[in-house]
Chains A and B, each alone.
Chain A
Amino acid sequence: MHDAFAWDRRRTFFPGLRWFSLTGTWRIMQPGRNLSSSRSRLCSVFLLSLGALPALAEGAQSTPSILAPASTPAHEIYGLSLFVLLITGSIFAVVAGLLAYVIVKFRARGPDAEHEPPQIYGSTQVELAWTVIPVLIVVVLFLTTARIIFAIQDAPEPKSALEVTVIGHQFWWEFRYPKLNIVTANELHIPASTREAPEPTYLHLLSADVDHSFWVPQLAGKTDLIPNHPNEMWLDPSTPGLYVGQCAQFCGIEHAKMLIRVYVDTPQQFDAWVRNQQRLGVDDSTVAAGRQVFESQACVNCHTIVGTPAHGTFGPDLTHLMSRATIAAGAAANTPENLRAWIHDPGTFKPGALMPAMQLTDQQTDEVVAYLATLH
């Protein structure tokens, strides 16, 4: 009946007025269901599903998961992310729990649905509470975050650091080691860095054309390569292995195929690799015909082979092409068949790549491929 709710139909919550109403109104509500069991169930499912992801293993893996950090920047980010997840997870549990409660508890049921419920216009105390608590959470989150920002971004470069200049191209990566006089492409070799023998790698990021972004999730967050805007980042992976990543800023038609392979080498492996890269291009006389083709065709306009007249810089350095596992920035495995297909028509693997189809005869192609196959 109309009068059944009359005494508590209206409560207007504003400062100084009707203090008792707050308790009065709370009184008529039914005690809530016990949510703690469903909340903890939610938490365990959540954590389990996280654990189900291929993660938390040491070292390199084929899935570039940010949950498998292998280098200090990635580790710092991972630790911070767990803390943030804890806070946001708790907020979710509370608010979603309230929402679920409200949906079940305050559904209109049966004849009771005929009357309008008590109209409540607001409550300054409640509004204050749920403003102050989020502000405090923000303060905590911000301070924690700022600390990690400064730790990663402003870490001073130690003398023992290896310096690599990364130049982004459409659609491949150029790696230069200025102090070691090495130029290579698409596959980065860096030494493992341990606590006993720290040797972090500092990357100096540049671009030859448009914006790119260097992202190898297991090793660090991504940093962009922007023309005329040099950037810096650092890595110090401790476990040798192959870490994968790719360009993470849309750079044109073949952005998807601008892959990165980072080989973290043991000190011996790294020294061996450096020495090989520092040698001149192999000059095998049995493939002189192929070298002739290479030097007389337009190849030399774009590519460099140290020790030959080829000094082009528009495309990757091919001096030690066979020391790489892939071609075309990971678009294909580095085999003679793939090389042949690539030279014949780059569109086979990467339609839109900036290398033109070279219009060579079959014989010329065979000879060039034979030549390139000797460039270890």
Chain B
Amino acid sequence: MADQTLPIPGSVTATPSRDAALLEWLHSWVVTVDHKRLGILYVVYAIFFLLVAGAEALAMRIQLAIPNNHFLSPELYNEFFTMHGTTMVFLVGMTFIFGFGNYLVPLMIGARDMAFPRLNAFSFWMTAFGGVLLYFSFIGGFGLYGMGAAPDVSWWAYAPLTAKAFSPGHNTDYWALSLIVMGFGTLGAAINTLATAFSMRCRGMTLFRMPLFVWLMVVTSGLTLITITPLTAAQIMLTIDRYLGGHFFDTQAGGSATVWMHFFWIFGHPEVYVLILPAFGIASEVIPVFSRKAIFGYPVMVAASVGIAFVSVSVWAHHMFTIGMTSVSNSFFVLSTMMVGIPTGIKIFNWIATMWGGKIRFATPMLFATGFLFQFLIAGLTGIMLSVAPWDWQLHNSYFVIAHFHYTLTGSFVFCIFAAIYYWYPKVTGRMLCENLGKWHFWLFLVGFHLTFDTMHFVGILGMPRSIYTYEADRGWGTLNMIISAGGLIQGIAVLIFAWNLIHSYLHGKQAGNDPWDAWTLEWSTPSPPPAYNFADDPVVRSRRPLWDIKHPNDPDWKYEQ
């Protein structure tokens, strides 16, 4: 039926041919321009690649569990760690954020769809095909060492290792070209989000009445415009070097290896903020609802988010403290990096203040949101440690850095994604996820996460560098690596439980109704799942929490908001 975005499980459709109906259903997904369907496609794509990249990580952890292991050859290990990073950032991180953005932004602002539905579809399919191109590399070429031609130059692909002279195979090309393709998709999604948020809000929804998730998607999209594009430019330069004989990064002809580093990190650092800002938005939706309180300091949260985006473009060279910049340059980047910690810290305080005085219900979304708060605090503090350049001269490219960024990406970003899935799955499918399985998922993942990434800090302090396929037995890193690998296995089990929960609840979950969490933003006023047109009548709002106003007519928000 036109109203359903998803088929009703178990319904009897009296069609003449099951195959024809299935084909038509699949076809409808391929040609869809509905933001909800595209959002689901993005998120399903992301979950699939989360499992793939997770498997790559587990393979690496088996290789590193004992010294001088022979589970993975050096070449395969190098391909795995490059692909793990590239996949997680682009095929999992970016797809999750634009998936949630796509699904939720129009619903939260009372719109019927995104501003440019066809651009939306184009963006998704570009991203999807970019991912296919990237993974085709495993089988598409015999490669130099007989291990396929997957990218093996690390996800930051420093020059001149990526020059034709040092990487004669096609590995680097798969990396550059697939990311250029995905970059177009990302650009389209960012343009679309901005146009939607500025031009499609329902009556009464001023910019300062938008839900914080929408604000964070706006800030993220603006940041994306100037973040992804430097990477695209640098990769075009790399491709010109490799195929047209260019000299951008040819150190023998006057080119510079450090120029690549600057260009890559001008992309690379704001990129991690592109990933984490929507996670902040998710936290800003989940925490208030489960604390039963409005978000503390909404205008400050908006200002802090914009502040983070602005400052984040000035910190990139903290990834380059060891390349021999002058002491003045190093000091500048120390200062800018420390400064970006200030608005970030303010956000943490505001979330805690939201919980303060509340009546907190620890359903699974809130468990993950609370885990996020704890882990993001630690991530921020290890970030401050890394911003201290002399200390970074020791910690750079060690397992301490890996621990730090997994705290921000797994411990913060992924935890928020899990929170988001548990929170909005009822809206998307009409079914509740099983709370019991959710709690198993949370606690197992928490234990595995901390076992792995807490330990990783220490093995880095003991001098273990990153990007190594094995290590000497007499360095004293063996036991710690074994613990790290064990934690990885536990996380893997937790994620499998999660995947099972998704499937099982889709078929047998409790009916959710419109508003299972007693929440306050517009998406909860629609049926679950929402009809294709979202809202039967265009909503009109008078405050940041339109549903609170409806539920508390004697005490609406607009009497108190300023």
Contacts and interface: CB of A to CB of B under 8 A. Distances in A.
Q: Do A and B touch directly, given a CB cutoff of 8 Å in the complex?
A: yes
Contacts of A14: 562
A92 B374 CA distance: 9
Interface in A275-326: none
A166 B380 CA distance: 36
A64 B65 CA distance: 19
Given A77-B394, A227-B257, A142 B338 contact: yes
Given A120-B296, A250-B161, A223 B251 contact: no
A151 to B, nearest CB: 9
Nearest to A254: B74
Given A99-B352, A135-B342, A210-B161, A106 B360 contact: yes
Interface string B289-308: 00111101111100000000
Interface string A133-154: 0110010011001101110111
A163 B370 CA distance: 54
Contacts of B78: 250, 253
B345 interface: yes
B323 interface: yes
A56 to B, nearest CB: 12
A353 to B, nearest CB: 10
Interface stretch (A186-194, A211-219, A263-271, A357-365): A211-219
Given A53-B461, A252-B161, A103 B360 contact: yes
Contact of B555 (A10, A209, A211): A10
Contact of A102 (B75, B258, B297, B356): B356
A117 B357 contact: yes
B9 interface: no
A35 interface: no
B324 A108 contact: no
Judged by DSSP, the binding face of A is: mixed
Contacts of A142: 331, 334-335, 338
A130 interface: yes
A223 B462 CA distance: 18
Contacts of B297: 121-123, 127
Contacts of B562: 12, 14, 121
B470 A64 contact: no
Interface bin, chain B: 35 or more
A96 interface: yes
B517 interface: no
A248 interface: yes
Given A63-B462, A106-B358, A127-B297, A221 B390 contact: yes
Interface in B375-398: 377-378, 381-382, 384-385, 388-398
A130 B349 contact: yes
B561 interface: yes
Interface string B519-532: 00000000000000
Interface in A79-114: 80-81, 84-85, 88, 91-92, 95-96, 98-99, 102-103, 106-109, 112-113
Contacts of B382: 88
B472 interface: yes
B359 A108 contact: yes
Given A112-B359, A251-B161, A131 B394 contact: no
A248 B161 contact: no
Interface in A214-267: 215, 217, 220-224, 226-232, 244-257, 259
A98 B355 CA distance: 10
Given A63-B476, A228-B257, A253-B74, A122 B394 contact: no
Contact of B327 (A118, A149, A228): A149
B485 to A, nearest CB: 17
Contacts of A24: none
B360 A107 contact: yes
Contacts of A149: 327, 330-331, 334, 389-390
Contacts of A98: 352
A325 B353 CA distance: 60
Contacts of B291: 106
A257 B469 CA distance: 9
A369 to B, nearest CB: 24
Contacts of A217: 394, 463
Contacts of B388: 80-81, 84, 141, 145
A29 interface: yes
Contacts of A148: 390
A76 interface: yes
A255 B390 contact: no
21 contacts: A12-B560, A63-B476, A76-B390, A102-B360, A103-B370, A108-B360, A113-B359, A116-B552, A121-B560, A122-B296, A127-B297, A146-B331, A210-B161, A211-B158, A213-B322, A228-B252, A228-B257, A229-B258, A250-B467, A256-B468, A352-B145
Given A221-B390, A248-B465, 9 more contacts: A10-B560, A96-B374, A98-B352, A113-B359, A116-B359, A131-B346, A138-B335, A149-B389, A256-B74
Top 7 closest pairs, chain A to chain B, by CB: A221-B393, A64-B463, A256-B468, A63-B476, A228-B251, A231-B324, A108-B359
